[in-house]
Amino acid sequence: MSAQFITSVVTLVVIAKLIMVSCAYLILLERKVAAWTQDRIGPNRVGLSFGVLPIRHHCWGAGQPLADGIKLFLKEDYTPPGVDRGLFLLAPVIVVVPAMLGWAVIPWGGYLGWGDSVLHVTAAPIHIGVIYMLAIGSLAVYGVVLGGYASNNKYSFLGGLRATAQMLSYEIPQGLCVLTVILMHGSARADMLVNFQANAVWNAVYQPVLAVIFFTCILAECNRAPFDLAEAEQELVGGYHTEYSSMKWALFFMGEYMHMITGAAFFTLLFLGGWDLPLLSEPLVGGIALVLLKTGVFIGKVALLLFLMIWIRWTLPRFRFDQLMRLAWRGLIPITLLVMLMTGVMVFLQQPAWVALVGNGLIALLAVWLGPRIPQGAAINRRVPLPGSRFCPPKPVNPTS
């Protein structure tokens, strides 16, 4: 049992517990932010007393997640006939577990100096940390596919297919973003990427286009609005979890929030400097107090990103499916390829950082200017006005003639 292993296990348990609790409160935050956006009050009745404890205050609805949890445990869990029972049970498990596995390589608190050794405050400090995160992320697709397939419901099936196609499409620009960051720094270790940023400027400052694209991809990967086509209520009821109830449904829900946390942590690590704050980055290795402080900074950044995600959800309308596919295949991929080539040439010519910023600006301008001017060809359909349809109504007959 090396000291590093003990540190890893402690980090693992603390972070896993912390995130599981914060998942519940994230749901409360989501409802509160939704209420503020829509000029409502939001959940504020369920305090912490539960009719037993002598707490008179309403605690701003802090008991709501607990009450929701109890409700979900007590709800009846029925399995419709005709489902594939094994896969039906497996799907929520496959949604939750990969989302949790992503936390393993995130450098939550930098390095801990213990005696004369330096320990990683990470569950698994592996060389290819960020590529590992992508690999784990690509497994999350299975939960959606199997949930859609096993339910034997047409809504579920279509929702699952849509969500899968969407997640696959947005994994490519996401991978290209990660590739560009690796290209810049020459390392795929999560902690080294944070060190590079702590040493200089956060990646988001001089690769803003890349940061925006990566954030978009994260939203699409965890099926959040405006990319929540899998569960578009108006068309597909609940999407791939239509037939799920009680705890299995709750696991799908929790999986979504865990994916949000993993994605936000990934973004923080790649673009927002991880545990780095301008005045805090001085001692790279410190005692437990410094590690806790850095972990706090990391979690604070993640919390801000989560708030941003919720804000976006309650602000933007949902995409149409063809718009979503067009955005990924004809928008994000060429732009990311351009940024990658620009970064490669920049690294080759040993240019300073502001060149990257200028390059990003030029690419953004080019995309905005060129986008509408690309010839669409004959491949685009015209609206076909069928005679007598509402697009081609019969001309009103003149009553006088």
Partner 1 sequence: MAISCTQPWWSARSPIGFLDPSRERHYSLALIGLDPIHPLQHKAAPVPTLAQLMTADPAQQGAPLLFYACATLTCLSAWAIVFSQNIVRMSVYLLLTLMGAAGFYLMLQAEFLAAVQLIVYAGGTLILIVFGIMLTNKNPEMQLRATPMELGLGALVGVGLAALLILALVHTPTPGQGFTAVPADYQQVRAIGRSLLSENLVPFELAAVLLLVVMVGAAYMARRRAG
Partner 2 sequence: MNQLLSIAIFVGFGVGFVFFNLLVGRLVRPSLSNAEKEAIYECGEPTIGTSWVQFDLRFYIVALFYLIFDVELALIYPWAIVYREIPGEALVLGTPFLGIIIIGYAYEWYSGSLDWVRSTINTSYKGTAGIDMASLARRDPEVLEEQAAGQA
The residue within the footprint of partner 1, chosen from 24, 48, 59, 139 (CB under 8 A), is 139
Which x/- pattern, by CB under 8 A, does the window 147-186 give for partner 1?
A: --x-------x---x--x---x--x------------xxx
The residue within the footprint of partner 1, chosen from 347, 358, 364, 367 (CB under 8 A), is 347
Burial of 104 (0-12, 13-18, 19+ CB in 10 A): buried
Residue closer to partner 1, measured from CB, 93 or 338:
93
Residue closer to partner 1, measured from CB, 282 or 322:
282
CA distances from 182 to 127, 203, 266 (A): 12, 11, 14
Sheet with 285-286, strands from edge to edge, namely: 117-120, 111-114, 285-286
Q: Are strands 285-286 and 117-120 parallel, antiparallel or unpaired?
A: unpaired
Nearest to 110 by CA among 302, 305, 277: 277
To which residue do tokens 């902690």 refer?
Answer: 191
Residue closer to partner 1, measured from CB, 302 or 324:
324
Query: Which tokens belong to 128?
Result: 């290819």
To which residue do tokens 């954030």 refer?
Answer: 215
Nearest to 288 by CA among 126, 107, 119, 104: 119
Contact segment (CB under 8 A) with partner 1 among 44-52, 112-120, 231-239, 383-391 equals 112-120
Which x/- pattern, by CB under 8 A, does the window 354-383 give for partner 1?
A: x-x---------------------------
The CB-of-380 to partner 2 minimum distance in angstroms stands at 7
Size of the site for partner 1 (CB under 8 A): 58
- What is the C-alpha separation between 109 and 103, in angstroms, rounded? 13
Q: Which partner from the list partner 2, partner 1, none does 153 bind, CB cut-off 5 to 8 Å by kind?
A: partner 2
Q: Are strands 111-114 and 117-120 parallel, antiparallel or unpaired?
A: antiparallel
The residue within the footprint of partner 1, chosen from 12, 18, 118, 212 (CB under 8 A), is 118
Cβ proximity of 229 and 162 under 8 Å: yes
Q: Which partner from the list partner 2, partner 1, none does 37 bind, CB cut-off 5 to 8 Å by kind?
A: none
Query: Which tokens belong to 394?
Result: 């019969």
Contact segment (CB under 8 A) with partner 1 among 12-20, 32-40, 197-205, 211-219 equals 197-205
Residues making up the chain, counted from first to last: 401
Contact segment (CB under 8 A) with partner 1 among 15-23, 67-75, 261-269, 349-357 equals 349-357
Cβ proximity of 77 and 248 under 8 Å: yes
**Coil, strand or helix at 359:** helix
**Adjacent-strand bridge partners of 117:** 114
Contact segment (CB under 8 A) with partner 1 among 51-59, 63-71, 196-204, 358-366 equals 196-204
Query: Which residue ranges make up the site for partner 1 (CB under 8 A)?
Result: 2, 4, 84, 86-87, 90, 111, 116-118, 120, 125-128, 131-132, 134-136, 138-139, 141-142, 145-146, 149, 157, 161, 164, 168, 171, 184-188, 191-192, 195-196, 198-201, 281-282, 284-285, 346-348, 350-354, 356
